Amino acid sequence: MPMRTPFVGGNWKMNASLASAAALTERLIGSLADLDIQAAVFPPFPYLLRIRGMLAQADSPIALGAQDAYFQRDGAFTGEVSVAMLADCGVTHVLTGHSERRHVIGESDELVGKKTQAVLDAGLTCVLCIGETLGQREAGETDAVNERQARAALAAVTPDHFERLIIAYEPVWAIGTGRTATPGDAQAAHASIRALVADMFDQPIADATRIIYGGSVNAENAAELFAQPDIDGGLIGGASLDADNFTVICRAAAR
């Protein structure tokens, strides 16, 4: 089975000021200089260039990600940001389908699919987020929702895209609530998603694909979650805004 390099992303969401984002980056450059995992930060758009400059100057291994992108290359799409623009700013990773985009902003499965395709077509790494709401979990629909979202997002994705695809399982009820999925529940969902990738493509692709967990991961619970065989790291919200916590979480993912 291929070795999957663990991935831990810090999704800063719509948080931080330019000054606090720079201070956080400075601390992470120091604390994450020698990791044998892939770490990435996903700052708000206006801070990307500043943080890119800091990471580049320090020759930091921390990757730069964006929280969203539009699927069109350019044109009259007021307020949107294209993948090409992000790449121009040094972004290498882009989130698509985050639950806050799906459930707060109202993005459809179809739109998430177009964005996912645009990120992969442009040669960037896509972190595709999927996951069920509390009502869907209680109705026993977890696997069905993950399957629907994954199939819609990956409809046009080819096997060679998979090297640059990371799937983030983020149960909506666990995001920002302090209510984490148990390691067993998260592992079960991850195993189902891996089986789905095998069904859609093949087993070697499924075995090589990183599937990371997000939803109230913190410095205390990260190690147990990341110890599960199908959990290859995490996408961290609140705890990623604190350099010490994010560093502990990244170290917990190192195998």
Please identify every residue annotated as catalytic: 98, 170
Q: Residue 217: which residues within 8 A CB-CB, separation 6 or more?
A: 180, 225, 234, 235, 236, 239, 249
Q: Residue 30: which residues within 8 A CB-CB, separation 6 or more?
A: none
Binds ligand 13P by CB under 6 A, chosen from 237, 246, 250, 251: 237
Q: 151 in helix, strand or coil? A: helix
217 lies in the site for ligand 13P, by CB under 6 A: yes
Identity of the amino acid at 148: R
Binds ligand 13P by CB under 6 A, chosen from 51, 175, 222, 243: 175
Least distance to ligand 13P from the beta carbon of 1, Å? 27
**Angle (deg, nearest 10), helices 109-121 and 142-153:** 50
Q: Which is nearer to ligand 13P, 205 or 243 (CB)?
A: 243
Binding segment for ligand 13P among 23-31, 68-76, 198-206, 229-237 (CB under 6 A)?
229-237
82 lies in the site for ligand 13P, by CB under 6 A: no
Q: Residue 248: which residues within 8 A CB-CB, separation 6 or more?
A: 219, 222
Binds ligand 13P by CB under 6 A, chosen from 44, 61, 90, 176: 176
CA dist., res. 101 & res. 127, Å (int): 13
Q: Which is nearer to ligand 13P, 11 or 82 (CB)?
A: 11
Least distance to ligand 13P from the beta carbon of 95, Å? 7
Q: Which is nearer to ligand 13P, 73 or 103 (CB)?
A: 103
171 lies in the site for ligand 13P, by CB under 6 A: no
Binders of ligand 13P in range 3-62 (CB under 6 A):
11
CA dist., res. 205 & res. 194, Å (int): 9
Binds ligand 13P by CB under 6 A, chosen from 65, 97, 215, 233: 215
Least distance to ligand 13P from the beta carbon of 139, Å? 22
The alpha carbon torsion through 169, 67, 148, 84 (nearest 10 deg) reads -130
**Angle (deg, nearest 10), helices 18-31 and 243-253:** 40
Pull the structure tokens for residue 137: 């979990």
Q: Which is nearer to ligand 13P, 93 or 205 (CB)?
A: 93
245 lies in the site for ligand 13P, by CB under 6 A: no
CA dist., res. 111 & res. 100, Å (int): 14
Contact letters for ligand 13P, residues 93-132 (x by CB under 6 A): -----x----------------------------------
The alpha carbon torsion through 148, 135, 128, 214 (nearest 10 deg) reads -150
216 lies in the site for ligand 13P, by CB under 6 A: yes
Residues forming the site for ligand 13P (CB under 6 A): 11, 98, 170, 175-176, 214-217, 235-239
